[in-house]
Amino acid sequence: MISSARLRRWLLLALLWGVALLFLVPLLWMLSSSLKPTWQIFETPPRWLPNPPRWENYSEALTTLPFGRYLSNTTVITLLTIVGHLLSCTLVAYAFARLRAPGRDTLFVVMLATLMLPYPVTMTPLYVIFHRLGWINTFLPLTVPAFLGSPFYIFLLRQFFLTIPRDFEDAARIDGANTLQILAWVLVPMVAPALATVTLFTFQASWNDFLAPLIYLQRPDLYTVTLGLQFFRSTYTTNWAYLMAASLTTMLPVIAVFFAAQRYFLAGISLAGIKG
Amino acid sequence: MQHPHPGRARRREAVTFYLLISPWLVGLLTFTLIPIAVSLGISFTRWDMLSPPELVGLRNYARLLDDRLFWQSLTVTARYTLMYVPTELVGGLLLALLMNQVDARGIRLLRTLYYMPSVLSGVAFVVVWMWLFHPEAGLINAGLAQLGVQGPRWLADPHTALTALWMMSLWGLGRTAVIYLAGLRGIPRELYEAAAMDGAGAWRSFVGLTLPLLTPTIFFNLVLSVIATFQTFTSAFVATNGGPLDATLFLVLYLYRKAFQEFQMGYASALAWVLFALILAFTLLVVRSGRWWVYYEGETP
């Protein structure tokens, strides 16, 4: 009996690891291609180990276009978006979770409804509005909206606030703290895991965003990494080694952050998913 | 909380509420409600953003009916949705069920590896797959060649381009699987033990227990993935730019072309409203149907 249960477990794990390997193949192939000299790129059958690995592909690919510039642009936009989401979503989520006011529940339903509103629906009029404001070719259309909240993260944080007992706030209130002080000193430390989730989701979405930068940033010196990579791809179509090196470089921050903080990604997934 | 003036305290609480949510209210107005109203207005005009808009009534909407490319984009989007959503829902569930058979320790790293590709969306994600799909030197066709099969030209062939984009998107299957896994782990063990005592086999307890209790998660994944497929843009723009022969001309890509390459703002706004109506209709349909098949424990939906 025991041995057949063991066997079953081993078979299952073998199957699951086989699938995992399948998921990893694109990344490994990418790494391998990024280190190949040009003549090995189109070799058939393809070799997995570049011989000798050509590390210069990275420095050459990343200096052909100003990738340093793209990386710093993306970093600025991403950081501002994160700060914006953390500030605005915390305040709004706290209000929805804790404070009573006429119209609150209706507004909450409105917020959930906007959650279903896809970006492409409003992108044309938004462009017209930002154009009027003179915001085209600035980072403002990509960062200012973050300071005005995002329905999904407000929802996520509200769910988290609701799991915290009121006792802590009541105690602080008796000690004479006001709402903002309570929020900053008592509640924010307690919802830190949820804030970490918001930070990571925002980081990932902002770093990978393509459509919005494509619309608003037309000057090459303002390009984000996704725009830079797309420009690179359309200009140097055949240099796959360089393309793989540049692609892997833009993916690396996301991969590193994901491995360092995966439990917050997964926590966010179940927090959003369980409530359905 | 005791307070000398309960009425005043309540009013103060309401004022604080509106102060705290004011950023979101401003955002709702400027970045959602006004754009929606503006968009409806523009959709009744002909406007290139240079000369003043010219009122044309419903002509933009009438033009949609005769626009071959509009119908093509609608067909492409619908076909892709019908390919992607079922495979994602079933594939993700299968993967989650397999993972759920193993103890938490055994799958910790596996779960990470499955989930990782789904955080890598964006242009780099697409570029990798363009290389994998390369007709001569790509890994996929090289692998097929070793088996003696001549692989198709994938993204360069109108018959296989959409299939290639579908295969590409399956790399993000891990996210769905992880959501399912969270749902599966939420089902109490005692229920399975009770079912086993009643003589239910593996299949019976899956159909009678797992599946009904998982319907809220299935519902969540269904809504999420359909809304996502309706918005497909980056992969089609980068990998194929809608081609070859408009085989991957998604609705949002067509909308982007009309608005930002041809500057037909009126026509693009009409397109956006059709997209909006489609997503709204679909969401309502799913939510309505949910009443029949989604099972909520102890509470009414």
With contact defined as beta carbons under 8 Å apart, do B81 and B194 qualify? no
Q: Which residue of B has its CA nearest to A34?
A: B128
Lowest mean pLDDT of A99-108, A210-219, B283-292, name the range. B283-292
CA–CA dist A4, A175 (Å, integer): 63
Domain B64-293: CATH architecture, name and number where available: Orthogonal Bundle (1.10)
3-state helix, strand, coil in chain A (%, to 5): 80, 0, 20
The most distant pair of C-alpha atoms in chain B lies apart, rounded to whole Å, by 86
Report DSSP state, residue B31.
Answer: I
On chain A, the residues whose CB falls within 8 A of the CB of B95 are: 19
Q: Which residue of A has its CA nearest to B103?
A: A9
Tokens at residue B67, please?
């626009």
With an 8 Å Cβ cutoff, is A10 touching chain B? no
CA–CA dist A213, B260 (Å, integer): 13
- Mean pLDDT for B214-222 is 87
pLDDT of residue A175: 85
Which amino acid is located at A263 in the chain?
R
With an 8 Å Cβ cutoff, is B202 touching chain A? no
Per-residue pLDDT tens over the stretch A62-73: 888 899 999 999
CA–CA dist B84, B74 (Å, integer): 15
CA distance A218 to chain B (A): 11
Give this complex's ipTM.
0.89
Q: CA of B4: how far to CAs of A65, B8, B288, in Å? A: 68, 9, 47
What DSSP letter does each residue of B179-200 carry, written as one string? HHHHHHHTS-HHHHHHHHHTT-
**A234: pLDDT strictly greater than 80:** yes
What DSSP letter does each residue of B108-150 carry, written as one string? HHHHHHHHGGGG--SHHHHHHHHHHT-TTTSHHHHHHHHTT--
CA–CA dist A272, B270 (Å, integer): 33
On average, the pLDDT of chain A sits at 89
Lowest mean pLDDT of A110-114, A134-138, B62-66, B187-191, name the range. B187-191
| Dihedrals phi, psi of B233, to nearest 5 degrees | -140, -60
Q: Do B14 and A100 touch (CB under 8 A)?
A: yes
Element at A68 (helix H, strand E):
helix A67-98
pLDDT of residue A87: 95
Cβ neighbours around A139 below 10 Å, total: 18
Residue A30: closest CA among B134, B68, B198 = B134
Q: Which of A109, A124, A236 to mutate to test the interface with B (most CBs of B within 10 A)?
A: A124
Q: Which residue of A has its CA nearest to B22?
A: A92
Tokens at residue B148, please?
């003696």
> Regarding predicted confidence, which is higher, A238 or B250?
B250
- Reported residue count of chain A is 276
CA–CA dist B77, B250 (Å, integer): 5
With contact defined as beta carbons under 8 Å apart, do A160 and A271 qualify? yes
Reduce the DSSP state of residue B248 to 3 states and report it.
coil
Domain ranges of chain B: 6-55, 64-293
With an 8 Å Cβ cutoff, is B299 touching chain A? no
Chain A, window 24-83: residues with a beta carbon less than 8 angstroms from a chain B beta carbon: 24-27, 29-30, 33, 41-46
**B296: pLDDT strictly greater than 90:** no
pLDDT of residue A271: 65
Element at A107 (helix H, strand E):
helix A104-115
Band of residue B209 on the pLDDT scale cut at 50, 70, 90? confident
Q: CA of A111: how far to CAs of A4, A153, B262, in Å? A: 53, 11, 33
With contact defined as beta carbons under 8 Å apart, do B128 and A244 qualify? yes
